[in-house]
Chains A and B, each alone.
Chain A
């Protein structure tokens, strides 16, 4: 909070009575953004927007300037356009069962995010089924099953080293049978550079469509909040093989800021829907643009 004040303090001091921002302040802004993993390109874009805005608009007070700055950055984070934005865990208006496929590179937090999501839906009285389609990583099925027990939600699995598409197929079938509201499919972590594994995602999707033609309704790409610029490539490559509808950014309970999602959201027009802030079942939040931008200006390392 201190640094937060001091940055804006400095910024406004440098700006009093001016129509342009001086270089020192812009340098400082650049450092803040770059150190939050915003990336050089997006940072330059933000700075340009702020320069233009300051040249165009008049601002009277520090608070106003502060707001302009935050607004310009938040503007790059596209809004979640789906109807359920205000409460992402309501399912009444959604297709039933609503199918969510969760994808991402290794170790980002897919399985944990699924456990947390299941908990949120379940708590609101929605019926959830999970599909253990990571049949590859050691004990991945057990991990999801333990999450299922923890949040009291059934998990469909075929054990390890089985065909992930078949698991997804069965999970959807089961969800239909039991009249579930939501079915969430866990997939194995895969680096976007592995062609075969990426193609496997298309296959899982095709097979699911045999049961529910317009599924998956949501493909959630999970990004690790401590990842740097590689996250941009992850978004690009996953988008190529499957239509990503939303992002979840995890591990934001640490000191990493996850700023890379600003450029990703802007470039690919994918909204950030959830953030992970811990390892427990309640540690999931619906993404808030304003809070997120504020957090970039806190604890500058």
Chain B
């Protein structure tokens, strides 16, 4: 993909041989190629337009000399721009509070329950007392799933199998944590669609009842154009603090990461890179930018054995 894009860009530039600066015309042709590449990587098409327009300005501003490999140079500019768009300083999660409460939300099957387990293990390794809470009262065996993970990592799971009210389970879990000296409560919730009013109200109710110190929105890196709508609605309802990008051990280019970042302006705080409890990583904007452009990102993709 990356070579592909670079080649296309080289071709676009070749037509202007002899000129020593990037001009309006060849930048227009090349930005069109970049835009296509971004959309192919699942960056939302509107956002891809915005970004390439901005890149066009930058490229013209910098008056870059057309080198032997103008395509490569242009890709580099794009890569830098994307990195910056996804960047900012690395932000941790807020675990202050007694207990600190972390709410996990997102679409069906995005990887919330798996991530909840991973985060619990990660915090446990830092020597903290963690409680996992099973608030998915709908999906068959959702509670069992979390319990199995809890057992694997040696973290207690709070559940009320007979209680169908997720809000009260969350509330009781926090009370239980306080009583039993747990410092962090991680609340796993059911998957829900942004258009499902009843379910969106439920998670909003959980939020207002337990007042989380941190709310994380979990999103599948394979998500397409719709990522922006979902992220926007979840953010409107929850004003979440950060994003978790999952299934990055695959070969999805992950353009949704860029779209979401643009639409809700919230940092990506973790990436999930496998089914095992260890497969959790920090987010690196430059790696993600390379990945979206198809430049490969071996380092953060390799699943740990």
Binary contact readout A38-66 vs B (1 if CB under 8 angstroms, 0 otherwise)? 01110000000000000000000000000
Binary contact readout A119-144 vs B (1 if CB under 8 angstroms, 0 otherwise)? 00000000000000000111110110
A-side contacts of B284, CB under 8 Å: none
A-side contacts of B149, CB under 8 Å: 138
Q: Once bound together, how far apart are the Cα atoms of A234 and B152, in whole Å?
A: 30
Interface pair A106/B42, CB less than 8 Å apart: no
In this complex, the member of A31, A136, A150, A226 whose beta carbon has the largest number of chain B beta carbons within 10 angstroms is A226
Binary contact readout A82-110 vs B (1 if CB under 8 angstroms, 0 otherwise)? 00000000000000000000000111110
Q: Once bound together, how far apart are the Cα atoms of A47 and B33, in whole Å?
A: 18
B-side contacts of A142, CB under 8 Å: 140-141, 144-145
In this complex, the member of B111, B146, B247 whose beta carbon has the largest number of chain A beta carbons within 10 angstroms is B247
B-side contacts of A193, CB under 8 Å: 249-251
Q: Is residue A186 contacting chain B, with contact meaning CB distance below 8 A? A: no
Interface pair B247/A191, CB less than 8 Å apart: yes
Q: Once bound together, how far apart are the Cα atoms of A140 and B141, in whole Å?
A: 8
Q: Once bound together, how far apart are the Cα atoms of A224 and B251, in whole Å?
A: 16
Q: Is residue A230 contacting chain B, with contact meaning CB distance below 8 A? A: yes
A-side contacts of B255, CB under 8 Å: 228
User: Which B residues from 147 to 200 make CB contacts under 8 A with A?
Assistant: 147-149, 152, 193-195
Q: How many A-B residue pairs have CB under 8 A?
A: 142
Interface pair A34/B249, CB less than 8 Å apart: no
Taking residues whose C-beta sits less than 8 angstroms from the other chain, chain B's interface range is: 35 or more
Interface pair B40/A229, CB less than 8 Å apart: yes
A250 to chain B, nearest CB (A): 9
Interface pair A256/B36, CB less than 8 Å apart: no
Binary contact readout B120-146 vs A (1 if CB under 8 angstroms, 0 otherwise)? 000000000000000000111110111
Interface pair B140/A137, CB less than 8 Å apart: no
Binary contact readout B19-59 vs A (1 if CB under 8 angstroms, 0 otherwise)? 00000000000000000100111101110000000000000
Q: Is residue A4 contacting chain B, with contact meaning CB distance below 8 A? A: no
Choose among B109, B224, B249 the residue that contacts A256 (Cβ–Cβ < 8 A).
B224
B-side contacts of A31, CB under 8 Å: 45
Choose among B36, B109, B146 the residue that contacts A108 (Cβ–Cβ < 8 A).
B109
Q: Is residue A35 contacting chain B, with contact meaning CB distance below 8 A? A: yes
Q: Once bound together, how far apart are the Cα atoms of A229 and B142, in whole Å?
A: 29
Q: Is residue A231 contacting chain B, with contact meaning CB distance below 8 A? A: yes
A28 to chain B, nearest CB (A): 12
Q: Once bound together, how far apart are the Cα atoms of A145 and B108, in whole Å?
A: 20
Q: Is residue B225 contacting chain A, with contact meaning CB distance below 8 A? A: yes
Interface pair A191/B250, CB less than 8 Å apart: yes
Q: How many residues of A contact B (CB 8 A)?
A: 45
Interface pair B107/A226, CB less than 8 Å apart: yes
Q: Is residue A146 contacting chain B, with contact meaning CB distance below 8 A? A: yes
Closest to A257 in B: B226
Q: Is residue B223 contacting chain A, with contact meaning CB distance below 8 A? A: yes
Closest to A146 in B: B140
A290 to chain B, nearest CB (A): 22
B227 to chain A, nearest CB (A): 8
Q: Once bound together, how far apart are the Cα atoms of A41 and B1, in whole Å?
A: 14
Binary contact readout A239-282 vs B (1 if CB under 8 angstroms, 0 otherwise)? 00000000000010111110010000000000000000001000
User: Which A residues from 200 to 256 make CB contacts under 8 A with B?
Assistant: 224, 226-231, 233, 251, 253-256
Seed contacts A139-B144, A142-B140, A192-B251; 14 additional CB < 8 Å A-B pairs: A115-B140, A138-B145, A139-B142, A139-B145, A143-B139, A145-B141, A191-B251, A193-B250, A193-B251, A226-B224, A228-B256, A230-B222, A251-B193, A279-B108
Q: List 8 A-B contacts (CB under 8 A).
A: A37-B225, A40-B39, A139-B147, A142-B144, A193-B251, A228-B255, A229-B42, A251-B109
Which residues in A have some Cβ–Cβ distance to B below 8 Å? 31, 34-37, 39-41, 105-109, 115, 136-140, 142-143, 145-147, 150, 191-193, 224, 226-231, 233, 251, 253-257, 260, 279, 301
Which 7 pairs, one residue from A and one from B, show the smallest C-beta to C-beta distance? Answer: A228-B224, A107-B109, A228-B42, A146-B140, A256-B226, A138-B148, A139-B144
Which residues in B have some Cβ–Cβ distance to A below 8 Å? 36, 39-42, 44-46, 107-111, 113, 138-142, 144-149, 152, 193-195, 220, 222-230, 247, 249-253, 255-256, 275
